Amino acid sequence: MTTPRSSAVFRADLLAGQVALVTGGGTGIGAAIARELGSLGAQVVIASRKASNIEPAAAGLSAELGRPVTGLVADIRDRESVAALVGETMARHGRIDLLVNNGGGQFLAPAETISPKGWDAVIATNLTGTWNLTRAVGDAWMLANGGRVVNITMLTGRGFPGMTHSVAARAGVEAMTRNLAVEWAPRGILVNAIAPGYIASSGLKRYPAGLAWAKQLQSAVPLKRLGTSEEIAWLVAFLASPGGGYITGQTLTVCGGRSLWGDHWPLPDPEPLPDIDVPAEPWEDDDGA
């Protein structure tokens, strides 16, 4: 019999009795978050637009954790689909204590080449989709009962050339995070964002020459390595825990110092730069999809 997966950081019952909904929970950072929350005793629901991602992920996580993880198909851009996702989660579990808005997507492109369709798709997924789900969960449970919302964004402070559409959307999410933290504080809802830097997740494989590019990105990080999906998951778990009870309206950057560093203070690279190992979940195919 397989020993259930346990957290490397927190005690096993830290989130016992809580229900967590994680979008984009089938791969990469989202799967790591779902795994961590489940290992801490939460009932976890993961959602993705593709059944081919979410069904094997739910089965795999359930086997690892020794407890059921529910996988539901939903398109966060579509409000009816979001309503169905939240309704099904409430029907199964009766509450939603933690919402992790991790679902999103973008493509690398110079600003002048982004088509109207491409722009609209990225904004709809990353900004409007986050609002759709946050509002639906608020209406269904949190506005009456409190809860925690964690939005996963990206490095926006210094811009991100090649990602104008996504930076605009994620900066909007961070502004929304600040606003909702104030408006919803009397309702007992804490709203925060996490801005990951360069993370060695399966998402890198979706970009041309992703691993070679990621290897060079280490030069731009003071710690001279990429982050891991688990390092994002641990912060989500902390924000969901009693330790995060007085933190709201913040965007917490997890980037190994990347957002602070400029060329005026040179930092030598290790020789040679290490190769990048991007872990894949057992249910992912070779393309990280």
- Spell out the domain ranges in the chain: 19-260
Q: Which of 173-187, 197-211, 252-266, 267-281 has the highest mean pLDDT?
A: 173-187
Residue 147 has pLDDT above 90, yes or no: yes
Mean pLDDT of 223-237: 96
DSSP state of 122: H
- pLDDT tens, residue by residue, 89-119: 999 999 999 999 999 888 878 889 989 999 8
- pLDDT for position 206: 65
Any idea which of 5-19, 54-68, 142-156, 203-217 has the lowest mean pLDDT? 203-217
- pLDDT for position 288: 46
Query: Would you place residue 285 in the very low, low, confident or very high pLDDT band (cuts 50, 70, 90)?
Result: low
- pLDDT for position 215: 83
Residue 172 has pLDDT above 80, yes or no: yes
Dihedral (C-alpha) 159, 163, 165, 170: value to the nearest 10 degrees? -60
**Residue 215 to residue 209: CA distance in whole angstroms:** 10
- pLDDT for position 236: 98
Residue 139 has pLDDT above 60, yes or no: yes
**CATH numeric code, 19-260:** 3.40.50.720
Alpha helices in the chain (DSSP H): 28-39, 51-65, 79-93, 116-123, 129-137, 143-145, 164-183, 210-217, 229-240
209 Cβ contact list (under 8 Å, min separation 6):
none
**Residue 212 to residue 91: CA distance in whole angstroms:** 45
Tokens of 42: 């939460």
Query: Would you place residue 207 in the very low, low, confident or very high pLDDT band (cuts 50, 70, 90)?
Result: low
DSSP state of 21: E
Q: Within a 13 Å sphere around the CA of 111, how many CA atoms are in the beta-carbon half?
A: 7
Q: Whose CA is closest to 24, among 77, 63, 91? A: 77
